[in-house]
Each structure stands twice: as structure tokens, then as C-alpha cells.
């Protein structure tokens, strides 16, 4: 069956709002290492990894073996009403890695569920439905997470279970303060935070939820140290800080294991998902015990932390630690960033190169006025695909190319990708 035929079947039974890449969408049917093959036999170097989910790559023996070993027991699922050894072992590991004192862990099935759980914990703990979030943010497609998403392209409803106010600072490239030095930029954003609390809330705010690097928002981020400065203000009011590490966790940024660590602050809670399972569905929250234990009713997760997903996740963490993939992300990320900046010197359409480690973005603009250019962005994404490279897209205006390959990426593969991207930009001339 061709991709076109499969797409017709997709359109007949799937919702119109289910986003697909490319004018002619593709089906990925197999993979190995950092490469995948589609249903028509075309092979690609994968620089988006299932939206940062296949963090180690494809067909990893250690992960597959861990899953097969669990399947061989005949138990794929029991639910959290029973003890699950793999869940406990994984929670112990994540609690240790989190840096949060006296940490406890709750497992769910996705980043959306993880962020919903964190919002529930914070609002219950603080007895307040008031929440602060960042402009240009994305935290999921649930009722509460859509409410704290500060990006109109992904916020489908104005209805909300929480009272949300949005704060400046995370998307610096188009900020009115973009030209300020880092220290002054942080100061004006902190002043804005205090002003938002003083003028738009009743003071008893539950939490601020942040992404250290905004994922869907186009891999944008503030200067390091902003969230530490924010926390000083939050602590004055007793407001909790939640770090959404769904895309930035597990060493992907290269310099730290968790993205928020770049700001020199320990949050009250962190959420995680995506790369932890290397393709298996898992998410969760790690938080200080007093926050995690603050629910006043029974709860559970039917599928969260099941034996299969936690076996895969434990093998994934062991693999990335044993192979020091955080260091590899730093090296290959620096190589890729240098290549992208070289392209930006040749092509003014590449207005901004940003990100950390193997979480990099290229914002595409119209050279005459620096305005967003989503049409050229879509063209470049198609051109790279036609040359054998899969990359993502995002940003507030749909004009950002997102690159987040598996953290096992090699030097040769990075060079190959840079050349494909340069060749794709050459089609603009």
C-alpha cells in the first residue's frame, strides 16, 4: 500500500486536527541506530526521534532484551494496586537523580498526564487554583495542560480548570527586551513576574510551571539564571516551582541532566516523559515528599508505571548513563550548532540558531524585515526530507526548524545532516 492510499484511510477515520508532517505524509516502518525507513523503502537520518522520544535510537538490544525478559514472565500489566518491582526500582533511580531532597515519584503514561498530575498536586497543596505559566509555552493536550499552554496554535479552548496568568521571558528572540544584556533582561522579567503577581492574582498562587527550553515553542529559552531569580520571588509568596522536563530531561541539553539545572535552582517538582522510555509510553512527576503526599483522596494510575514501560525505562537510563550520552549530546550538539551558524552566515533567512546539546533550532525569517516565514520553513522541512533527513517544526508562528536526534548520534552523521541542511537552503536561491 502506498503512502497516498494509507493517508486516504487516515483522513477517513482520524480527526482533522491530528497534525501530520509534509504535504504527502509518510509511514515509518523500521529503524536501526539513528536511521528509519518508510513504507515505500526510503531511508532517512532521523533528527526528530519521534518528537524527542527515541532518545537512544532504534533497535537497541539492551532495551529490547529488558522488554522481552518481562514479556517472558507472562505479565505485561498488573496496575498500581499491586506492588511493581520495576516501578519501585525506577522510582528509586529517578528520585536519586532528581536532586530534590526526600523525593517521591508518581508514574503516568505521557507528558500531558505528568503535567496534569503536577498541577493537581500544586493546586491541592496550596489550596488555590491560581497558576502562573510562561508565554509561548506548551505543556500538553489535556484540559489543565491546554489551559497553561501559552501558544495559541496549540490552545484549542479558552475553558480552564485553573486561573492562569502568563509571564514574560522564555522566548527571547522576539521579546521587547531581547537586546538587553543578560543581567538586565533577567531583571526586567523578574520585575514583570512580581507585577503580574501583584496586579493579576490574589497572591495565593499555587505554582509557576516552566520549560527550561520551550519545546513546541521552538526550542526557545531565557538566559541561564532567570528561573533562580524567579524562585526568589516565588519563595516570598510560597509559590511552588514546577519544571517541565518532558523534552529537556535525561542529559539531552548536554551540560546538565535536567534542563532546569542550568539556572542553578532545585524546583519543587519536575515532570518527565518522552525519552525516558525510548519509545515506550511513560511519564511522571518527581517531587518533594510533602508535595507528593498532599492529596487528600485515593488515586492511582491504571497503566502508569506498568512492568513493560518501567523495564524499558530502567534499561534506557542505564544505557545513557553507562555510555555517557550527556557528554555525547554536548559534543555533537556543539558540532551541529557550529554548522547551523555557518549556514546562517550564508543565508539571512536563518534568523536565529538556539538551543543546547542535541536540542537545537533554526528560526526562519524574511530577510527584509525579520518577520516569521512559515512558508519557507515548510519548504525547507520538505527539502531536507527529500534529501534523507527528518527534522521537526514548531514555534509560535510555525517558522522554527527543530532538531533533536537520538543522543547516540555520531560525528559522521552530524556532518551528513549539516550538508543536507545547507543543500536545502541552497534551493532558496
Confidence category of residue 9, pLDDT binned at 50, 70, 90: very high
pLDDT at 211: 98
- CA within 13 Å, CB half, 304: 22
Sign of CA dihedral 92, 96, 98, 99: positive
Same fold, 3-60+325-426 and 65-322: no
Q: Is the pLDDT of residue 157 over 90?
A: no
Q: Is the pLDDT of residue 404 over 90?
A: yes
Contacts of 414 (CB under 8 A, 6+ apart): 332, 335, 336, 339
Q: Give the C-alpha separation, 378 to 183, whole Å.
A: 35
- Helix (H) / strand (E) element for 393: namely strand 392-394
Q: Give the C-alpha separation, 247 to 272, whole Å.
A: 8
Angle among Cα 351, 354, 355 to the nearest 5 degrees reads: 160
Closest CA to 97 of 231, 286, 264: 286
| Cβ(22)–Cβ(385) below 8 Å | yes
Q: Is the pLDDT of residue 387 over 90?
A: yes
Three-state SS sequence of 161-179: CCEEEEECCCCCCCCCCCC
pLDDT at 194: 98
Confidence category of residue 156, pLDDT binned at 50, 70, 90: confident
Closest CA to 380 of 359, 337, 351: 351
β-sheet bridge partners, residue 167: 134
Share of the chain above pLDDT 70, in %: 100
Residue given cell 536501526 in the structure block: 32
pLDDT tens-digit series, residues 273-332: 999 999 999 999 999 999 999 998 999 999 999 999 999 999 999 999 999 999 999 999
β-sheet bridge partners, residue 36: 31, 44
Does 3-60+325-426 carry CATH code 3.40.50.1970? no
pLDDT tens-digit series, residues 168-193: 999 999 999 999 999 999 999 999 99
Long-range contacts of 341-349 (CB under 8 A, 24+ apart): 342/418, 343/418, 343/421, 343/422, 343/425, 346/422, 346/425, 347/425, 347/428, 349/373, 349/376, 349/425, 349/428
pLDDT at 429: 86
Average pLDDT of the residues of the chain? 97
Mean of the pLDDT values across residues 229-256?
Answer: 98
Q: Give the C-alpha separation, 163 to 206, whole Å.
A: 10
Q: Domain boundaries in the chain?
A: 3-60+325-426, 65-322
pLDDT at 25: 96
Contacts of 182 (CB under 8 A, 6+ apart): 223, 224, 225
| Cβ(214)–Cβ(133) below 8 Å | no
pLDDT tens-digit series, residues 69-104: 999 999 999 999 999 999 999 999 999 999 999 999
Mean of the pLDDT values across residues 356-384?
Answer: 97
pLDDT tens-digit series, residues 30-58: 999 999 999 999 999 999 999 999 999 99
| Cβ(353)–Cβ(337) below 8 Å | yes
Specify the CATH architecture of the domain 65-322: 3-Layer(aba) Sandwich (3.40)
Confidence category of residue 391, pLDDT binned at 50, 70, 90: very high
- φ, ψ of residue 272 in degrees (nearest 5): -150, 165
Closest CA to 131 of 47, 240, 207, 231: 207
User: Quick check: pTM over 0.85?
Assistant: yes
Q: What is the DSSP-derived secondary structure letter of residue 261?
A: G
Confidence category of residue 158, pLDDT binned at 50, 70, 90: confident
By residue count, the chain amounts to 429
Order of strands across the sheet with 392-394?
A: 350-356, 359-364, 400-403, 392-394
Angle among Cα 91, 93, 94 to the nearest 5 degrees reads: 65
- Helix (H) / strand (E) element for 411: namely helix 411-426
Amino acid at each position: 500500500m502506498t503512502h497516498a492510499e494509507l493517508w486516504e484511510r487516515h483522513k477517513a477515520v482520524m480527526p482533522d486536527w491530528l497534525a501530520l508532517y509534509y504535504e504527502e505524509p509518510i509511514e515509518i516502518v523500521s529503524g536501526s541506530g539513528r536511521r528509519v525507513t518508510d513504507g515505500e523503502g526510503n531511508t532517512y537520518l532521523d533528527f526528530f526521534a519521534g518528537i524527542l522520544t527515541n532518545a537512544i535510537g532504534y533497535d537497541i538490544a539492551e532495551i529490547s532484551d529488558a522488554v522481552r525478559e518481562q514479556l517472558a514472565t507472562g505479565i505485561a500489566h498488573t496496575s498500581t494496586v499491586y506492588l511493581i518491582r520495576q516501578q519501585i526500582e525506577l522510582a528509586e533511580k529517578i528520585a536519586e537523580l532528581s536532586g530534590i531532597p526526600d523525593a517521591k515519584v508518581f508514574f503516568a503514561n505521557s507528558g500531558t498526564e505528568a503535567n496534569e498530575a503536577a498541577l493537581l498536586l500544586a493546586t491541592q497543596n496550596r489550596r488555590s487554583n491560581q497558576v502562573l505559566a510562561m508565554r509561548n509555552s506548551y505543556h500538553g493536550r489535556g484540559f489543565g495542560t491546554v489551559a497553561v499552554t501559552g501558544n495559541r496554535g496549540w490552545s484549542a479552548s479558552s475553558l480552564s480548570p485553573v486561573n492562569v496568568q502568563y509571564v514574560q521571558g522564555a522566548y527571547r528572540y522576539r521579546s521587547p527586551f531581547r537586546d538587553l544584556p543578560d543581567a538586565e533582561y533577567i531583571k526586567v522579567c523578574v520585575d514583570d513576574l512580581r507585577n503580574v503577581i501583584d496586579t493579576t492574582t490574589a497572591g495565593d498562587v499555587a505554582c509557576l510551571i516552566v520549560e527550561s527550553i520551550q519545546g513546541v515553542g521552538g526550542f526557545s529559552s531565557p538566559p541561564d539564571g532567570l528561573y533562580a531569580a524567579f524562585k526568589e520571588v516565588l519563595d516570598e509568596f510560597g509559590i511552588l516551582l514546577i519544571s517541565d522536563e518532558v523534552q529537556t530531561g535525561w542529559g539531552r541539553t548536554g551540560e546538565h541532566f535536567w534542563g532546569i539545572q542550568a539556572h542553578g535552582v532545585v524546583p519543587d517538582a519536575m515532570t518527565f516523559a518522552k525519552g525516558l522510555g525510548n519509545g515506550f509510553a511513560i511519564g511522571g512527576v518527581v517531587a518533594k515528599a510533602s508535595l507528593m503526599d498532599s492529596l487528600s483522596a485515593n488515586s492511582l494510575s491504571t497503566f502508569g508505571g506498568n512492568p513493560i514501560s518501567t523495564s524499558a525505562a530502567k534499561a534506557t537510563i542505564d544505557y545513557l548513563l553507562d555510555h555517557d550520552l550527556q557528554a555525547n549530546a554536548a559534543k555533537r550538539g556543539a558540532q551541529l550548532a557550529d554548522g547551523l551558524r555557518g549556514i546562517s552566515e550564508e543565508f539571512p533567512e536563518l534568523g536565529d540558531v538556539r538551543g543546547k546539546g542535541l536540542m537545537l533550532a533554526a528560526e526562519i525569517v524574511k530577510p527584509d524585515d525579520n518577520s516569521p516565514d512559515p512558508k519557507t520553513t515548510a519548504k525547507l522541512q520538505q527539502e531536507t526530507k527529500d534529501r534523507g533527513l527528518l527534522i521537526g517544526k514548531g514555534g509560535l508562528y510555525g517558522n522554527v526548524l527543530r532538531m533533536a536526534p537520538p543522543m547516540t548520534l555520531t560525528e559522521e552523521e552530524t556532518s551528513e545532516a549539516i550538508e543536507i541542511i545547507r543543500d536545502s537552503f541552497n534551493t532558496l536561491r
